[in-house]
C-alpha cells in the first residue's frame, strides 16, 4: 500500500478515530487504527468492541492495501509533522508502516488487518436528523448522566421514541436534563434506547459539522452515518428510570433571571462551599436571589443577583457544581427558576424554550 496525504486531512481523521481506539492492551489490535485503501477510497477505522467508527480521508492512492497501526503513535507523529509538506505512507515487509515527510522518515510496527473486528454498515431504513440539532441535544443533556459504574443504566442518554417527538434524557438521580428533538423512527414496541456516554461524546465530535445524519436502530446497536463517517455503538440494556415522575411535582412559583449573572455569581460563591458536598444556599424572592456559602474551615461568601420578574419565596440548598453545570448548558440570555418548597426539586428552564428542562434535587441546609 502506498498513500499520499496532506497533514490536515490525515490528522483530522486520526483525531476522530483515536478517541475510540482502546488504550487497554488486552487485545493489542484494538489500540490500532485500520487504514484501508480500495475502490478509489481511503478509510480509517477504530473500535473498542463497544463503539466503532469509520471515516473517509482525502488522499492519493498510489497502491491499494490494508494495514493496522497504533492509533496514538500515528496521531502523535502526524501532529508534529510540518504542515506544508505531503506525507507519504507506505507498507513494507512484516506489516511495517513507513511515513516519509520531507527529510523525516518514521517506521512503525503494525499488525495485519486479519484480526481487526468487522464493523457493520448502515444499510436499510433509518431516520435522518440535522447534525447540528443532534449535537445541540447532546450538549444540553449529557452533563446530567451518571458516571458511577454501578448505575450502568444511567451511564448514557435515553432516547424515548414518541410519535410527535423524541425525548432525550440524562440523569444521575440528583439532577435530570430533558431535551426534545424531532421524532426518530419508533421501534415496534414504542420504547426507546440508551446510548452509552462514550458513544455520545464521539457522536458529538464526529457529526458536529454534518448537514444530515442518518440514524438506524438494529437489534442491540445504533448506527449513525453521514457522507464521510459511520459510527456504531452497542446500546445499554435494561430499563431506564421512570423520569416522568418528577414532572408530577407542581411548581407554584417562578422567577426570571439573567443566565450569565446567576452563573457567574454561583461560580464565585461556590469557591467557599464545602468541598465535600459543594452546598450553597439560594434565597429566592420576587426582587432578588441571594446566593451564599459557609464553610467553617474556609470562610463564607454571598452575592445578590437581581430578578427580572417573579413570584414567591424560598430558601433552598443545592449542589453548586450541579447547578452551575445546568446554567452553563442553557443557551438563552434569561432562564426561569420554578420552585414550590425547600424539599422539592428546583426546575430550571431556558426562557422561551419549551423543549429543554432541567431538575435538581435539594440539599438540607443548617439553620
Least confident of 43-47, 163-167, 319-323: 163-167
Residue 334 in contact with residue 281, Cβ under 8 Å? no
pLDDT at 124 over 70: no
Confidence of residue 367 (pLDDT cuts 50, 70, 90): low
Task: Examine the pLDDT at 249 and tell me if it is beyond 70.
Answer: no
Evaluate if residue 62 carries a pLDDT over 90. Answer: yes
127-244 folds as DNA Polymerase III; Chain A, domain 2 (3.10.150)
- Residue 188 and residue 90: Cα distance in Å, rounded? 49
pTM score above 0.75: yes
Answer for the pair 338, 253: CB distance below 8 angstroms, yes or no. yes
Closest CA to 210 of 230, 193, 194, 235: 230
Angle, helices 320-328/259-270, rounded to nearest 10 degrees: 150
Q: What is the mean pLDDT of residues 232-254?
A: 85
- The CATH classification number of 2-115 equals 3.10.150.10
Provide the residue ranges of all domains of the chain, joining segments of one domain with +: 2-115, 127-244, 249-360
- In this prediction, residue 126 has a pLDDT band, given cuts at 50, 70 and 90, of confident
Contact 319, 143 (CB under 8 A): no
Per CATH, 2-115 and 249-360 having the same topology is answered yes
Distance CA 39, CA 33 (A): 19
Q: How confident is the model at residue 248 (pLDDT cuts 50, 70, 90)?
A: low
pLDDT one-digit tens code per residue, 136-163:
999 999 999 998 877 889 999 999 998 8
> Do residues 323 and 280 lie in contact, with contact meaning Cβ atoms separated by under 8 Å?
yes
CATH number, domain 249-360: 3.10.150.10
* pLDDT at residue number 38: 95
Amino acid at each position: 500500500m502506498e498513500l499520499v496525504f496532506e497533514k490536515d486531512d490525515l490528522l483530522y481523521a486520526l483525531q476522530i478515530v483515536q478517541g475510540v481506539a482502546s488504550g487497554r492492551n488486552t487485545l493489542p489490535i484494538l489500540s490500532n487504527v485500520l487504514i484501508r485503501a480500495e475502490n478509489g477510497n481511503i478509510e480509517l477505522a477504530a473500535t473498542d468492541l463497544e463503539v466503532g467508527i469509520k471515516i473517509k480521508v482525502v488522499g492519493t492512492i498510489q497502491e491499494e492495501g490494508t494495514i493496522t497501526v497504533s492509533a496514538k503513535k500515528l496521531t502523535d507523529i502526524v501532529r508534529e509533522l510540518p504542515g506544508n509538506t505531503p506525507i507519504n505512507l507506505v507498507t513494507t515487509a512484516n506489516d511495517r508502516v513507513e511515513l516519509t515527510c520531507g527529510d523525516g522518515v518514521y517506521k512503525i510496527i503494525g499488525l495485519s488487518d486479519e484480526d481487526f473486528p468487522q464493523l457493520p454498515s448502515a444499510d436499510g431504513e433509518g431516520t435522518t436528523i440535522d447534525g447540528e440539532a443532534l449535537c445541540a441535544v447532546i450538549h444540553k443533556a449529557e452533563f446530567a448522566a451518571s458516571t458511577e459504574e454501578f448505575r450502568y443504566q444511567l451511564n448514557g442518554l435515553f432516547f424515548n421514541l414518541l410519535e410527535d417527538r423524541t425525548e432525550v434524557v440524562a440523569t444521575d438521580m440528583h439532577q435530570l436534563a430533558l431535551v426534545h428533538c424531532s421524532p426518530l423512527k419508533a421501534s415496534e414496541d414504542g420504547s426507546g434506547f440508551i446510548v452509552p456516554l462514550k458513544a455520545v461524546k464521539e457522536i458529538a465530535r464526529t457529526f458536529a459539522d454534518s448537514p444530515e445524519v442518518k440514524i438506524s436502530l438494529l437489534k442491540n446497536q445504533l448506527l449513525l452515518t453521514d457522507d464521510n463517517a459511520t459510527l456504531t455503538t452497542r446500546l445499554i440494556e435494561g430499563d431506564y428510570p421512570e423520569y416522568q415522575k418528577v414532572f408530577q411535582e407542581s411548581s407554584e412559583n417562578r422567577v426570571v433571571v439573567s443566565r450569565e449573572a446567576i452563573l457567574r455569581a454561583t461560580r464565585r460563591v461556590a469557591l467557599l462551599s464545602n468541598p465535600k458536598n459543594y452546598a450553597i444556599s439560594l434565597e429566592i424572592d420576587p426582587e432578588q436571589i441571594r446566593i451564599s456559602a459557609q464553610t467553617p474551615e474556609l470562610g463564607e461568601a454571598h452575592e445578590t443577583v437581581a430578578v427580572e420578574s417573579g413570584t414567591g419565596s424560598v430558601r433552598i440548598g443545592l449542589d453548586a457544581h450541579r447547578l452551575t453545570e445546568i446554567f452553563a448548558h442553557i443557551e438563552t440570555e434569561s432562564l426561569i427558576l420554578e420552585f414550590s418548597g425547600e424539599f422539592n426539586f428546583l426546575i430550571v428552564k431556558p426562557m422561551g424554550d419549551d423543549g429543554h428542562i432541567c431538575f435538581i434535587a435539594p440539599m438540607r441546609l443548617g439553620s
